[in-house]
Structure 1
Amino acid sequence: MLHILGLTANFSLTLQHKDQDILNVMSLVESTKRELQKLRDDGWDSLMAKVASFCKKHNVEMLIMEENFVDLRNPRKRTNISNMHHYKVNCFCTVLDFQIQEFKDRFTEVTTDLLICMAALSPIDSFHGFDKDKPVRLAKLYPDDFSYGELLSLEQQLDIYIDNIRRDERFKSVENLGDFSCLMVKTQKHLAHPLVYKFLKLVLILPVATASVERCFSAIKLVKTAARNRIGDQFLSDCMVCFIEKELFDSISNEKVIKKFQMMNERRVVL
């Protein structure tokens, strides 16, 4: 388990970052899956070597793998399997199969392709990773939002859009799609490239399951408890902001908060 958790720890920490580099994340997914599969196929012998070394070092009697397995919960009942079968098949391979299957379920080929296509619009390094074919392929997954004629127009509009944006100095320092879409509205570029802007809005909706968003939903359970079951939407929203944006509120001193409340209304005493 220590080896398995070691392989997945880096990936788990990466997914918890607020700002995701989707291409690197998907590359890390594939690398982690390959390492888990490699451990399942070829890792048993090395694991047994470590077990033998540990037993020898600490004077622990090691099981004979060819003998019949004895279930300590019911030692009189015959299991009809060897120690090798129990520990390799029922334990080692089963745990790794669960891990690999979980990766396949959460990161299917469709999901992976969807995220990679999203990353093609990233404004980092003046749209260094831009690939016209990927946004078009992603738009085809939304037939209710893009008609056949709009798909043809989108392909042509992307060429004009990328040339126009790359030559505009106002977009040089933009690093994420959220700021980029806001700047498009501010500079009226969304009117000149309506289909691209429509596509951007779809892309911004997709990453609703990132760790930061999931933390917000988890925080609701901590803020809206049974004792606060009648809390209003506005008050809940205010409490959530204070709870989630802890780093921001740590920079605000208590004196500033007290002064703010003091100025909101006339009070008999100074807070």
Structure 2
Amino acid sequence: MRQGQSIKHALQKQTDVMKDEYRVRLSASIDVSRHLLHQGLPFRGHDETEDSTNKGNFLELLKYTAGQNEIVRKVVLKNAPKNNQMTSPPVQKDIVHCFAEEVTKSVIQEIGNDVFGLLVDESADVSDKEQMAVVFRFVDKYGIVKERFVGISHVKETSSLSLKIAIDSLFAKHGLSLKKVKGQGYDGASNMKGEFNGLRSLILKESSSVYYVHCFAHQLQLVVVAVAKKHFEVGDFFDMVSLLLNVVGASCKRKDMLRESYRKKIEEGISNGEIKTGTGLNQELSLQRPTNTRWGSHYRTLLRLVDLFSCIIEVLEYIQDEGVDTTKRRQAYGLLKYFHTFDFAFYLQLTLHILGHTDSLSKALQRRDQDILNAISLVASTKRQLQKLSDDG
């Protein structure tokens, strides 16, 4: 209502020189933000006070830009008006938000009026807030399959209804319709794929042609985990491997001992002519900790266990004989005793053989250029190999 206090009126009162300075100042902040976003770097620093030697990436990069460009230097930081430096956290967030809006708009324009698939997953961030990530999968005008990340929405709970409301809100914001969605893909959680009340069913009620596809690679991992857990001997084997990682991998000193022992083994093998040398060969190895939902990581852990076995035995013997912690010494004794049993050798070779087949399939299923006919063929081939192992192995 007060025309004299409007932004338009305030800009009209400025001289052309002041307007040009403002544009240079804003452009400098935008260029710095573009670079940091492109590199995935944080903006803020722990200490942005005047006496700080490192004020964070945004201010430091702006300072560097000013040092390289005389026109920018004259109008930014100390040379800018105190109330118009274009460096405050709210301004930084506004610029980032504008970039996000433009990128999302370009993705939606790329889809056009065509159909697309909806990929959704939820996870907690570092602040323990549930976040829902949304990805669109579509075929562009050149016939290339693309996947584009379009946003993250905070959800107070991960029930299927809450996720559906968040998706509706995102679609309404960008003028999209569920009628254009022809495919949906989630993980195996009940709130996602539930037959009666899951997100899958809620979307199908609005559009009956939205076919659901469970991630093939994730299905494979779930099958391997479920089968392995049914066998107590296999479960006991992986428990001992987990204990090994805690005993050997929980200390920097023991990790260094393992690396040093492996280095000496490699040097001895090279000097004897038993090990070849070349680009990419004989890299430093360490034990990798597997994750419960990715059994491909268990396969890599077992491969490292085989490669480092003699070195691991040396470290365990040192812990057993020279260790200070009584608990660790007792655990090292138990591991050494188990590692010299037939059961250990048998289950190590068995799981390596089985996980070798499933790991190859898992990698193939996760390829970006995979087509469903080839995927079905690979699944059938792997099943035949495992059945042959079961019958003749």
Superposition TM-score, scaled by structure 1 size: 0.29
- Larger % of helix: which? 1
Structure ranking higher on relative contact order (CA contacts 8 Å, 6+ apart): 1
Asked which structure has the greater CA Rg, the reply is 2
